[in-house]
Chains A and B, each alone.
Chain A
Amino acid sequence: MLYDIRLHLHYDYAAAAGGGRHQIRVLPSTISGVQRVIAASLSFAPAPNERSDFSDFFGNNVTSIAFRDAHDALDIRMSARVSVSRPEPGLDVSPDIGRLRQELAAVRSLASASPHHFLAGSAHSGIDAAITTYARDSIAGSAAGTAMNLCNRIHRDFTYDGDATTVRTRASDAFKLKRGVCQDFSHIMIAGLRGLGIPAGYVSGFLRTIPPKGKPRLEGADAMHAWVKVWCGRDAGWQEFDPTNGMRASNDHITVGYGRDYSDVAPIVGVLKTTGGQVGEQAVDVIPVALEKA
């Protein structure tokens, strides 16, 4: 599928922000076997005094900007054309949890895709006894089967509610609330899998806005989306699941970045010198590009 993606982030500051430095992670990158970026651009208003682009540890595109002067609003606009083509999930060749552990121990790597980075608890997805107990009921004969079960159960047991949580909510708190948004469901699934000994990470990205004819509109399409990647052993590798919609990541899922949890791939982080609060808005459009009619 070929998409045109537009993202608009807007922040208003209660008191004029006296300069500041931010890192922005919203630009998709080309990922072999998943997607290809054909064009992408990112712009800011007001124009920052400094700007530099780099790739972080997990391979995500980062744009670092700095303002010296006071400003009371910040506008970020990203547009990209991305072609997504994920392989069809084939036969499940992933091992059970016991064998997965042995295969994991045999991975002698700290490269950014190494599963070792995704096993220990992290800031938002700490290993939590209650979540682990919940996840245990999803254990199947294979790691991928376990992940799919857990993904479906979270979709069924939790209520989508944009007001219940914030970007700072941790998995353990969202789990108690039984509600939240894509970020929370992903954190809960990650924490659950890690509790079982299965490496799991956070994927930040976009969803197609208008569903194909006859299909329901997916939850979370009006803002940036998040789902989960799961290490399913040496042969099956990384596979992606969307607990918000109870499905595997499809060609409607466009990836921006990977991390241990939200804090590694937050769209914007930054320190502003302001005494007041800041209010953010975001708008997303993901429109399939009609190919030339042949």
Chain B
Amino acid sequence: MAKGNHKRIRGKPQIHSLLEHYQPIDGVVDEMVDAAGNPRPVWKHFIEALDDLGAEKLGQRFARADQYLRDAGVYYRVYDKAGANEREWPLAHVPLLIEDAEWAAISAGLVQRAELFEETIADIYGRNRLIEKGILPAGLIAASPEYLRPVVGTTPAGGHYLHFCAFELGRGPDGQWWVLGDRTQAPSGAGFALENRVATTRALSDIYGEMHVHRLAGFFRRFRDALIGMARESEGRVAILTPGPLNETYYEHAYIARYLGIMLLEGEDLTVSGGRLMVRTVSGLMPISVLWRRLDAAFADPLELRSDSQIGTPGLVEAIRQGAVATVNALGSGLMETRALLAFLPKIARELRGEELLLPSVATWWCGQATERAHVLANIDRMVVGPALSTRLAFEDDGQTTLGSTLSAGERAELVARIERDGGAFVGQEAVTLSTTPVFVGGWLEPRPASLRVYLARTPEGWTVMPGGFARVGLSLDPTAIAMQRGGQAADVWVVSDRPVERETLLPQEGDSFTRTRPGSLPSRAAENLTWLGRYIERSEDTVRILRAYHVRLAETSDPDMPLLADIRDYLEPFGIDVETAIPLGLIGTLDSAVYSAGQIRDRFSPDGWLALKDLSKTIHQFATTVAPGDDATRAMTVILRKLAGFSGLLHENMYRFAGWRFLEIGRRLERGIQIARTLARLTSLKAPDGALDMMLEIGDSVMTHRRQYPVQAGRRTVIDLLALDPLNPRSILFQLERLKAEIGLLPSVGGEGHMSPAAKEILQLNTQIAIKEPSDMTAKALDELAYEIGGLYNSLAKAYFG
């Protein structure tokens, strides 16, 4: 194809257009160029701007977008033979551009569809007119696992079933957009759409700035306000319910929770009491009245839905029946994803709304009806045949859905026989050819098949459509390769206007009224994870300090069996720290545990904090394969200490001083108290080898202070005085106890206002006891007992706050 006319010659006559090798497929619509190979109007400026940059610069810029995604830690999870793995978000760098007039037509079609779905689902769970009139076959609905009998006849709190939907669209060879599938259960991807936008605009900020691209933030703000508005009516809170960190889109759940400032909960955080849904927090049970669920309804309540669910909340369905909580979307809404329903939508639209569908669905025939079955069997070669009750998109339905034309004679005969025997289990759908959109490969643009996912949210003013969304783009020309689980990529979608667009953000605008809201109550599980994060980080630091002191001495001595080194070896061994290995497995395990604890509460971390922790973990795993004992290990430990200090500093300087930070701090202080008491007991024992006291000062980072405070050499008493009983030394035991007393005293009261909690009593007692001690009292035995008692404090806290 001749593309010479698109070359823009600006002083450098040899500039090639990125379009030069662009070869759309015959008979397939291309989003960027028309049939004659000319760029469509909405793309014209965009391509010119890309050409101005040139392939090399463009490559660098796209690398910048990838870097952003890596830095932000955007991942999704894929399940393959090797199990579940985190994978970097596969950004297709070139956005899909759509003109806003065309977008308006898509929006109108989808708003109509969402309304129709709401009425349909309300009818199926309510009056059943569609069944009675024979418009929907009763057998089809009754057989669906998404038809949830426990909620039949229940009107959802707030009056609506659907609040947040997504639709998957494709453009056919005739240029028309078709709906390929519907997402009404718990649509994912809206958060990824946001991240796509941020990453893409990192690369193309100037072009984005020049073009009038609709912003996404307003969509999220309106939906957040709608959720909060629903909750306000019933005096409860809004929460997002996630299946947990092992879910493929957990990153997104945490991201949305953080972006919108909504609590992120797991099933075990919730309980039902007195017919209301409650979250267990460190301040007791708090009511939840709006639950944005990101798990499939069947798993939501093991008592009335799937009894094998480990991630649900017993009693949730009862709370829903009593109208005490609204779920987004209502349990049972997943029914609308059923593939066979596509066949009935045109009739339903006529019946319920007296309208034709503005946007057609991909042509679908349910084989449970004689005429339709005959049609599918007669045309099986140009059909995609799959399970009638499937809720997956045809191209994602691994192995279940087959393209008639690809079957061998034998397979074909077998499929025909199965359809004839059990037609109700099958649907035939017209095989879809998707339009193509450009991707950047090896310095050129190339066409790839794409589908478009669009999000709609309900607000008090009606449905609002996210002006954008994301496009799934194939890795190859094979249209089945657009599924993310099979290596598909995701591209940003720019809805482009010819006029300036409104710049919306989530931040309150000048003139908006604002109220200062108290930070929400901390869920118990989050408090527990924060405490353990604090403990693991501190434990790592204490271990690294001992190891560094060990390796410094190892490097300087000719005798690796000298008594002090042997003593340290024996001391650490029971804790799984083998000093023979420069980076002991026990230490790596502790840091991995810290990462795990943090991973459970990712919505509570800034990306900076998370990255610092990931970097720490990466470093130590790297060291594990490269570092040798002695000098090398000493340097490695210093690097790790510095990174640990960096992470602690980030948390300390940036975390809002509320309950979350308090539990983290308590975890750190508990652990430091325990570690120092234990190490002191060992190294100040009367049996301790030569050099133990100096080493203790080094481990306790108190060499200089000691020199300044005591005009004598380190002796047992001076070391104990400084590291156990000095209230001003941030490494001393007494200092930890003072901090613990202060922070525990500020925790939410349990057992009634004005009463001290058991943990508060224990720490007060312990603190007073130690504050009046003399160094001579602190025998090795007394120190070991003290370590044990500090450990006991954790149990009292756990009982009061994490139960």
Interfacial residues, chain A to chain B (CB-CB below 8 A):
20-23, 50, 52, 54, 56-58, 64, 66, 68, 104-105, 107-110, 114, 116-117, 119-120, 263, 269-271
Determine the chain A residues whose CB is within 8 A of the CB of B152 once the complex forms: 57, 110
**Interface 0/1 of B91-115, CB less than 8 Å to A:** 0000000000000000000000000
The verdict on A23 contacting B131 (CB below 8 Å), with A64-B318, A119-B143 known, is: no
| A54–B275 CA distance with the chains assembled, in angstroms | 13
Looking at the assembled complex, report how far the CB atom of B687 sits from the nearest CB atom of chain A, in whole angstroms: 41
Partner of B142, one of A20, A54, A119: A119
Partner of A57, one of B128, B134, B139, B150: B150
Most chain A CB within a 10 A radius of its CB, from B132, B133, B142, B304: B142
Q: Is the CB of B303 within 8 A of A57?
A: no
Determine the chain B residues whose CB is within 8 A of the CB of A105 once the complex forms: 137, 139
Q: Is the CB of A270 within 8 A of B142?
A: no
Q: Is the CB of B132 within 8 A of A120?
A: no
Q: Is the CB of B142 within 8 A of A120?
A: yes
Contact residues of B between 6 and 59, Cβ < 8 Å to A? none
Looking at the assembled complex, report how far the CB atom of B121 sits from the nearest CB atom of chain A, in whole angstroms: 13
7 contacts between A and B (CB under 8 A): A21-B272, A21-B314, A23-B303, A56-B150, A66-B273, A116-B142, A269-B303
Residue of B nearest to A266 (CB): B307
Is B138 part of the binding interface, using a Cβ–Cβ cutoff of 8 Å? yes
The verdict on A271 contacting B139 (CB below 8 Å), with A57-B150, A57-B152 known, is: no
| A56–B154 CA distance with the chains assembled, in angstroms | 12
Q: How large is the interface on B (under 10, 10 to 19, 20 to 34, 35 or more residues)?
A: 20 to 34
Q: Is the CB of B128 within 8 A of A110?
A: yes
Q: Is the CB of B131 within 8 A of A109?
A: yes
Partner of B303, one of A52, A117, A119, A271: A271
Q: Is the CB of A108 within 8 A of B138?
A: yes
Q: Is the CB of A270 within 8 A of B132?
A: no
Partner of B133, one of A108, A119, A263, A269: A108
Q: Is the CB of B307 within 8 A of A263?
A: yes
Q: Is the CB of B143 within 8 A of A114?
A: no
Partner of B131, one of A56, A108, A117: A108
Partner of A108, one of B132, B275, B303: B132
| A54–B131 CA distance with the chains assembled, in angstroms | 26
Determine the chain B residues whose CB is within 8 A of the CB of A20 once the complex forms: 314
Is B189 part of the binding interface, using a Cβ–Cβ cutoff of 8 Å? no
| A269–B275 CA distance with the chains assembled, in angstroms | 18
Query: Top 4 A-B pairs ranked by shortest CB distance?
Result: A120-B143, A116-B142, A57-B149, A116-B138
The verdict on A117 contacting B142 (CB below 8 Å), with A108-B131, A263-B307 known, is: yes
Looking at the assembled complex, report how far the CB atom of B511 sits from the nearest CB atom of chain A, in whole angstroms: 48
Q: Is the CB of A50 within 8 A of B314?
A: no
The verdict on A23 contacting B304 (CB below 8 Å), with A109-B131, A110-B138 known, is: yes
| A272–B189 CA distance with the chains assembled, in angstroms | 35
Looking at the assembled complex, report how far the CB atom of A232 sits from the nearest CB atom of chain B, in whole angstroms: 17
Looking at the assembled complex, report how far the CB atom of A25 sits from the nearest CB atom of chain B, in whole angstroms: 12
Looking at the assembled complex, report how far the CB atom of B652 sits from the nearest CB atom of chain A, in whole angstroms: 36
**Interface 0/1 of B145-170, CB less than 8 Å to A:** 00001101000000000000000000
Q: Is the CB of B139 within 8 A of A116?
A: yes
| A64–B318 CA distance with the chains assembled, in angstroms | 9
Q: Is the CB of A107 within 8 A of B143?
A: no
Determine the chain A residues whose CB is within 8 A of the CB of B131 once the complex forms: 108-110
Determine the chain A residues whose CB is within 8 A of the CB of B150 once the complex forms: 56-57
| A217–B237 CA distance with the chains assembled, in angstroms | 59
Partner of B134, one of A52, A56, A108, A114: A108
| A105–B315 CA distance with the chains assembled, in angstroms | 36
Looking at the assembled complex, report how far the CB atom of B727 sits from the nearest CB atom of chain A, in whole angstroms: 40
| A271–B303 CA distance with the chains assembled, in angstroms | 7
Is B442 part of the binding interface, using a Cβ–Cβ cutoff of 8 Å? no
Residue of B nearest to A116 (CB): B142
| A270–B128 CA distance with the chains assembled, in angstroms | 31
Q: Is the CB of A107 within 8 A of B138?
A: yes
Residue of B nearest to A118 (CB): B142
| A270–B150 CA distance with the chains assembled, in angstroms | 16
Looking at the assembled complex, report how far the CB atom of B299 sits from the nearest CB atom of chain A, in whole angstroms: 13
Q: Is the CB of B303 within 8 A of A110?
A: no
| A108–B136 CA distance with the chains assembled, in angstroms | 9
Is B354 part of the binding interface, using a Cβ–Cβ cutoff of 8 Å? no
Is B302 part of the binding interface, using a Cβ–Cβ cutoff of 8 Å? yes
Partner of A109, one of B138, B275, B315: B138
The verdict on A270 contacting B314 (CB below 8 Å), with A110-B138, A114-B138, A119-B142 known, is: yes
| A50–B271 CA distance with the chains assembled, in angstroms | 13
Determine the chain A residues whose CB is within 8 A of the CB of B141 once the complex forms: 110, 116
Determine the chain A residues whose CB is within 8 A of the CB of B321 once the complex forms: 54
Determine the chain A residues whose CB is within 8 A of the CB of B134 once the complex forms: 108
| A116–B128 CA distance with the chains assembled, in angstroms | 14
Residue of B nearest to A68 (CB): B273
Determine the chain B residues whose CB is within 8 A of the CB of A110 once the complex forms: 124, 128, 131, 138, 141-142, 152
Is B274 part of the binding interface, using a Cβ–Cβ cutoff of 8 Å? yes
| A126–B531 CA distance with the chains assembled, in angstroms | 47
Residue of B nearest to A66 (CB): B315
Q: Is the CB of A21 within 8 A of B138?
A: no
Contact residues of B between 722 and 770, Cβ < 8 Å to A? none
**Interface 0/1 of B313-354, CB less than 8 Å to A:** 011001001000000000000000000000000000000000
| A59–B764 CA distance with the chains assembled, in angstroms | 58
| A201–B273 CA distance with the chains assembled, in angstroms | 34
Looking at the assembled complex, report how far the CB atom of A265 sits from the nearest CB atom of chain B, in whole angstroms: 12
Looking at the assembled complex, report how far the CB atom of A283 sits from the nearest CB atom of chain B, in whole angstroms: 25
| A271–B124 CA distance with the chains assembled, in angstroms | 30
Q: Is the CB of A269 within 8 A of B128?
A: no
| A125–B272 CA distance with the chains assembled, in angstroms | 31
Determine the chain B residues whose CB is within 8 A of the CB of A108 once the complex forms: 131-134, 138
Determine the chain A residues whose CB is within 8 A of the CB of B315 once the complex forms: 21, 64, 66
| A23–B131 CA distance with the chains assembled, in angstroms | 31
| A23–B303 CA distance with the chains assembled, in angstroms | 7
Residue of B nearest to A114 (CB): B138
| A56–B318 CA distance with the chains assembled, in angstroms | 11
Residue of A nearest to B389 (CB): A120
| A114–B132 CA distance with the chains assembled, in angstroms | 12
| A117–B131 CA distance with the chains assembled, in angstroms | 13
Looking at the assembled complex, report how far the CB atom of B267 sits from the nearest CB atom of chain A, in whole angstroms: 11
Determine the chain A residues whose CB is within 8 A of the CB of B273 once the complex forms: 50, 66, 68
Q: Is the CB of A50 within 8 A of B274?
A: yes
Determine the chain A residues whose CB is within 8 A of the CB of B124 once the complex forms: 110
Determine the chain A residues whose CB is within 8 A of the CB of B137 once the complex forms: 105
Q: Is the CB of A21 within 8 A of B303?
A: yes
| A124–B133 CA distance with the chains assembled, in angstroms | 32
Residue of A nearest to B142 (CB): A116
Looking at the assembled complex, report how far the CB atom of A62 sits from the nearest CB atom of chain B, in whole angstroms: 9
